[in-house]
Structure 1
Amino acid sequence: MKRSKEETNETISHLKEVARKHFTEHGYAATVLDEIVKEAKLTRGAVYHHFGSKKGLFLAVLESVQREVAEKVETESAQSKDVWDQLILGCRAFVTAAVEPKNKRIMLIDGPAVLGWETWRSMDEKGSMRLLHEQLQLMHQQGYFESVSIDALTHILSGALNESTLWIAQRPNVVESVEETMKIISLLLERFRS
């Protein structure tokens, strides 16, 4: 039984990996399920069994992408012991990870369009936005942001970061655009700093 579970997990992982490549290269609408299963050397039945549909497979891929972005935010913010630096590093990590070619189409363009704004937003709240809220709450407990609602600040900052990634993803010079964005995010946060 254990081997069967390992094989199942390997199949699921392999399908998501192949699907991610197709969704990244072609976008959700132009991705053909038959091409995914052909490359994965599986059947459509495997996709339907594990994910229910193409949309279910896309949801699983998006969850993986969001998990990777959240992990990058945690890893980068942990580079400093200073909570203010952690916040800035985490914001930068989110922006740079979201606009990476392997992530941006799935996370920023097709995610909200395919799954709907409410589903996409709910997923964001469980990932990067949760980390942002935890960091702001910790900082609030240490005397930062005393005069503002942490819930409101979380949503405002998350919205600014999400909108910035959409803007950056369309810019010809991503590095320069990230720097411009981070300068403004830092200035914005300084205005709320207690």
Structure 2
Amino acid sequence: MEVNRRTQADRTAATRTALIGAARALFAEDGFSAVGTQTIVAKAGVTRGALYHQFADKAELFVAVFEQVEEEVMAAVATAVADAAADGPIEALEVGAAAWLELCADPQVHRIVLIEAPVVLGWEQWREAGQRHALGMVEALIAEAVSSGAVAEQPVRPLAHVMIGALDEAAMYVARSPEPGKARAEMLDVTRRLIRAMTIE
């Protein structure tokens, strides 16, 4: 009986993985509104019934895709910061901001996180998700900067919210630019200046 339950759980997990993977590729290529559920299940190799067993509707499936992409992005940013062995929290923030803007060049991140998610989820839910994934990292680095004396003593959370908002807007600017390479270079300079502006001279 235990083996049967485990096998069923494995099948369920495999179905969910297939649906998220198929939807992710399709949403990134064509956008949420242009992709029908029949196209998703055909690509995933499952039935419509299997889709609706896993997700209430296409919007709920999109949320799962979005969350997966967001988690991968934050893991990549964290890895970039760790690998850089930054000289203090300010430099770590600069590395993280650069990694974020670079990751936004990925078509899946660009389309799903920056273009589709604000429309499908609504602005408030989209912002809440971004803050949930990024707030902890940014807040911890700013708190370290304040503690070390690199940044003036002040409430950390409001400053972290402002920084996240600025980085999201920077990414949106790059994503919507007809010259993304040029826009990214410009925004890297702007975000670096913004981060450095927090420091005590």
In the superposition, the TM-score normalised over structure 2's length comes to 0.90
Residue 32 (1) aligns with residue 23 (2): no
Residue 52 of structure 2: aligned partner: 48
Note the 1:64-143 alignment, pairs <5 A: 64-79=68-83, 80-83=85-88, 84-143=90-149
Runs of 4+ in 1 over 4 A off after TM superposition: none
Which amino acid letter does the alignment assign opposite residue 185 of structure 1? T
| Separation of aligned partners in 2, 1:71 and 1:183 | 23
Whether the aligned pair in 1 keeps the contact of 2:131 and 2:164 (CA below 8 Å) is no
Q: How many residues end up aligned between the 2 structures?
A: 194
The RMSD of aligned alpha carbons is 1.5
Q: Matches of 2:153 and 2:78 in 1, distance apart?
A: 26
Deviations 1:110-163 (A, max 9, x none): 111111111111111111232211221222222222244322221221111111
The share of aligned pairs that are identical, in percent, is 30
Is the counterpart of residue 9 in structure 1 residue 13 in structure 2?
A: yes
AA aligned to 2:10 is E
Separation in structure 2 between the aligned mates of residue 180 and residue 167 of structure 1, nearest angstrom: 10
In structure 2, what is the Cα distance between the partners aligned to 1:81 and 1:109? 31
| Aligned partner letter, 1:192 | M
Which residue of 162, 171, 188 maps to 2:194? Answer: 188
Task: Name whichever of 85-94 and 133-142 sits farther off.
Answer: 133-142
Tell me, in whole angstroms, the C-alpha distance in 2 between the residues paired with 1:47 and 1:139. Answer: 47
**When the two structures are superposed, what TM-score results if normalisation uses the length of structure 1?**
0.93
Which residue pairs with 2:176 in the alignment? 170
In 2, Cα distance between equivalents of 1:95 and 1:81? 18
Equivalent residues of 2:93, 2:195 under 8 A apart: no
- The Cα shift of 1:73 comes to 0.8
Give the structure 2 partner of residue 62 of structure 1: 66
- Offset at 1:14? 1.2
Measure the CA separation in 2 of the matches of 1:173 and 1:110: 20
Larger radius of gyration, structure 1 or 2? 2
Q: Is the 8 A contact 1:74 1:90 kept in 2?
A: yes
* Mapped contact 1:94–1:128 kept (Cα < 8 A): no
* Mapped contact 2:78–2:96 kept (Cα < 8 A): yes
Per mean C-alpha deviation after superposition, the further-off stretch among 1-10 and 70-79 is: 1-10
Query: Amino acid of the residue matched to residue 188 of structure 1?
Result: L
Is the CA contact 2:86–2:92 (under 8 Å) kept in the aligned structure 1? yes
